[in-house]
């Protein structure tokens, strides 16, 4: 009888724990085709995104969960003037990182370098991009890619696939804003669950076990 009571209590505890965990995320009906991954939807004009960047959130998660790939998807809606062009730069940066077996968690990667430049430009230098010539200079100075090289890349299927994902990211960012973290392309973590690094790590770890 005693053991039966213990078993019932254990089952109640497990059910309650699962129920509490389920409140930390939503399941996207038409997410990304991205298994074993964590995607952060971000804007370089978002102070919370900048704080995650400075804290090295993706890099810290990578240390604990090295089997996941990590990506930054820019939200072009946050920059209606040059969002399209900046997305193209991030697509090139992501492709270069993949070629070198790096991702957005790599602090010496192209995506991290580009995000850092834009964050510093906006929050530290208090400057805004004024024209397309500045975009070309960012491409050349930060990514070491010329205008012609970038245009050739944008014709590739790889570029089109990455940019399509960025467009889809705009839809999901409208649910909770930025930053938004999505595990395995379909589990979007709710903002209220991002109360601490430890909690984020726990949720990402659990969700990454799901397909």
Bridge partner list, 188: 26, 182
Task: Note the residue count of the chain.
Answer: 211
Bridge partner list, 74: 42
Q: What is the dihedral of CA 110, 114, 119, 120, to 10 degrees?
A: 100
Which region, left, alpha or beta, applies to residue 53 given φ > 0 means left and ψ of -120 to 50 means alpha? alpha
Q: What is the dihedral of CA 174, 178, 182, 186, to 10 degrees?
A: 0
- Dist. CA 70–CA 61, nearest whole Å: 9
* Token representation of residue 165: 């994902």
Q: What are phi and psi of 115, to 5 degrees?
A: -60, -45
Helix (H) or strand (E) holding 140: helix 132-142
pTM, to two decimals: 0.88
Please report where in the chains the tokens 């839809």 appear, as a residue: 171
Question: Could you read off the pLDDT tens digit of each residue along the chain, which spans 211 residues?
Answer: 433 443 443 333 333 334 355 689 999 999 999 999 999 999 999 999 999 999 999 999 999 999 999 999 999 988 889 999 999 999 999 999 999 999 999 999 999 999 999 999 999 999 999 999 999 999 999 999 999 999 999 999 999 999 999 999 999 999 999 999 999 999 999 999 988 999 999 999 999 999 7
């Amino acid at each position: 009888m005693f053991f039966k009571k213990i078993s019932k209590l254990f089952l109640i505890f497990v059910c309650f724990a699962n129920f509490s965990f389920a409140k930390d995320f939503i399941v996207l009906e038409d997410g990304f085709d991205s298994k074993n991954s964590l995607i952060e939807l971000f804007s370089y004009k978002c102070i919370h995104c900048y704080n995650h960047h400075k804290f090295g959130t993706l890099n810290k998660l990578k240390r604990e969960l090295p089997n996941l790939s990590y990506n930054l998807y820019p939200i072009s809606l946050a920059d209606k003037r040059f969002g399209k062009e900046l997305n193209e730069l991030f697509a090139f940066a992501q492709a270069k990182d993949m070629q070198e077996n790096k991702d957005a968690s790599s602090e010496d990667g192209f995506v991290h370098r580009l995000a850092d430049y834009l964050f510093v430009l906006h929050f530290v230098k208090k400057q805004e991009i004024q024209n397309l010539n500045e975009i070309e200079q960012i491409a050349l100075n930060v990514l070491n890619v010329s205008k012609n090289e970038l245009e050739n890349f944008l014709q590739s299927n790889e570029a089109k696939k990455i940019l399509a994902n960025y467009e889809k990211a705009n839809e999901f960012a409208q649910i909770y804003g930025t930053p938004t973290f999505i595990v395995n392309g379909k589990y979007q973590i709710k903002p209220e669950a991002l109360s601490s690094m430890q909690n984020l790590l726990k949720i990402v770890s659990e969700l990454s076990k799901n397909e």
